Structure 1
Amino acid sequence: MQSWKRTDPPMHQPQQSKQENAGILNVSAYKFVEIDDIDALRAELQTRCDAHGLKGTILIAPEGINLFLAGPREHVTAIVDFLRADPRFADLAPKESLSTAQPFRRMRVKKKREIITMNRPTIRPSEGRAPSVPAQTLRRWLDQGHDDEGRPVVTLDTRNAFEVDEGAFDGCIDYRIARFSEFPAAVSANAAGLAGKTVVTFCTGGIRCEKAAIYMREAGIDNVFQLEGGILKYFEEVGGAHWRGNCFVFDERTALDPDLAPAKA
């Protein structure tokens, strides 16, 4: 993985005014790792989350885990700590935001074929990730209009069209897909327009752009990176620079603004 110059802008400090009275911690996290005890893990997580009074969704598949949890901080932290005690999930890195109300109606732990459906079984992030770019570096590249080797930089949104309509990076590439499984065909049809550019794929929390970047590299597209931690980590570290609108989220908050506060409260 490329090493980055330490000339990136300082970390963004989110405004607290919209969240100062918020008592619900919302976390999202995922990990691509082989899981062969899905049924036992699913049952254990359902029991523990119910005991802590949490709500949200956890998806478990042979390729990994994807979770969205909300509740009092100490109870959410207990589940994250439980997972991190398992060597498979030791480096789980949740993105956090706060809300004044519980954004989920129930707690569901579900067994799935994929934690994000691409229908490309040869794309296996657990066997090796595409290179990533941290938020501060992407902001610097967008500020200067090119990467550190002088190539023009473009951002490529891997989300569905209705999510993009809520907000996205200025001037991003948007293939207007209706579901993530349409992404490979869209890339193949438009690959020529990416030649000679550095492409940074992005999505809400990193899970889609991780698969997308691997697929693009395997398809022969050079200079492709994934935005580390997705939009939510970008908001956390650098705010709304080069961003328009909000970020759609799949819960009752509907969208978050660049300060990670509910945009439609």
Structure 2
Amino acid sequence: MSAVLNIAAYKFVSFDDREALREAWLAQARERGLLGTILLAPEGVNLFLAGDEGGVRGFLALLRADPRLADLEVKESWSAQQPFRKMLVRLKGEIIRMDHPMIRPEDGSAPAVDAATLARWLDAGHDDEGRPLVLLDTRNGFEVDHGAFEGALDWRLSKFTEFPQRLREHRAELEGHTVVSYCTGGIRCEKAALLMREEGMDHVYQLDGGILKYFETVGGRHYQGRCFVFDEREALDQHLAP
């Protein structure tokens, strides 16, 4: 029986009290027996945690008690074993590094398409306006090698900071299409979609919640392989099982 609840979540929101939050969150997570990583940056929070259900839900209640995180959305999965070895809360410059300071998702998110809508578009081969569809994988190449959406563009990124340059090199591939960027949990594809919007591209969306939310909502339709995750489970199948 799977007894360990795994959660992944992020939110772009300004934090000017990161040091105090770091100490408080680390203490509370350890008190509840949780392991994983929380990244805190001026632009927001990104977390991957695992533990018994009571401990995880108690910690989530603590986070959501902060008005800035009241609407924090979480992706859940279960495992038989604890996939993390330590509990870390780290202060970072960005919760996902892009080295493009004008991209501030808190100032306005790119339009998102939910999992059910994307699956329907993929079934049809086009969006609701009949425009041809392109899926753009914003993950690193080694992640893509574990699995990806059928026919998705893979620019063989070795790190996310390469995305702006790759976009300039490959933009012609995207012209005339509805573009849906996707990633593991939503954070990279949100920044990628905002950059494409900033570059003047229309009909650009992010996959809301990434691959993990897609698996949780519609399963593995139009997806081949597994989804790489950054813990000892390595990759999850369409049932969110290791």
Q: Please tell me the TM-score bracket, short chain as reference.
A: over 0.9
**1:133–1:228 CA contact under 8 A, matched in 2:** yes
Amino acid at match of 1:54: L
For 1:193 and 1:176, the matched residues in 2 are separated by 15
Cα shift at 1:244: 0.3
Specify the SS of the correspondent of 2:145. Answer: helix
Query: Identity of counterpart residues, as a percentage?
Result: 61
1:160 and 2:136 correspond = no
1:242 counterpart residue number: 222
For 1:222 and 1:131, the matched residues in 2 are separated by 11
Q: Deviations over 1:13-56 (max 9, x none)?
A: xxxxxxxx100000000000000000000000000011111100
TM-score, with length taken from structure 2: 0.99
Amino acid at match of 2:44: G
Amino acid at match of 1:256: L
1:136 and 2:116 correspond = yes
- Consecutive unaligned residues of structure 1, counting only runs of 5 or more, are 1-20
For 2:147 and 2:201, the matched residues in 1 are separated by 26
Cα shift at 1:88: 0.4
1:219 counterpart residue number: 199
Superposed CA RMSD in Å reads 0.4
Cα shift at 1:193: 1.3
List, as ranges, runs of 4+ consecutive aligned residues in structure 1 with deviation greater than 2 Å.
none
Cα shift at 1:147: 0.3
1:53 and 2:22 correspond = no
2:6 counterpart residue number: 26
In the TM superposition, what are the counterparts of 1:177-196 in structure 2 within 5 Å? Answer: 177-196=157-176
**1:191–1:221 CA contact under 8 A, matched in 2:** no
1:149 counterpart residue number: 129
Specify the SS of the correspondent of 2:189. Answer: helix
Q: Deviations over 1:161-185 (max 9, x none)?
A: 0000000000000000100000010
1:65 and 2:45 correspond = yes
Cα shift at 1:68: 0.5
1:95 counterpart residue number: 75
Q: Give the one of 204, 207, 212 matched to 2:184.
A: 204
Amino acid at match of 1:25: L
Cα shift at 1:220: 1.4
Amino acid at match of 1:88: R
2:232 counterpart residue number: 252
- Consecutive unaligned residues of structure 2, counting only runs of 5 or more, are none
Amino acid at match of 1:108: L
For 1:90 and 1:155, the matched residues in 2 are separated by 31
Amino acid at match of 2:200: G
**1:33–1:64 CA contact under 8 A, matched in 2:** yes
Amino acid at match of 2:189: C
For 1:65 and 1:146, the matched residues in 2 are separated by 34
Q: Deviations over 1:74-127 (max 9, x none)?
A: 100111111101110011011000000000001000000000000001100000
Cα shift at 1:192: 1.1
Cα shift at 1:221: 1.6
Q: How many residues align?
A: 242
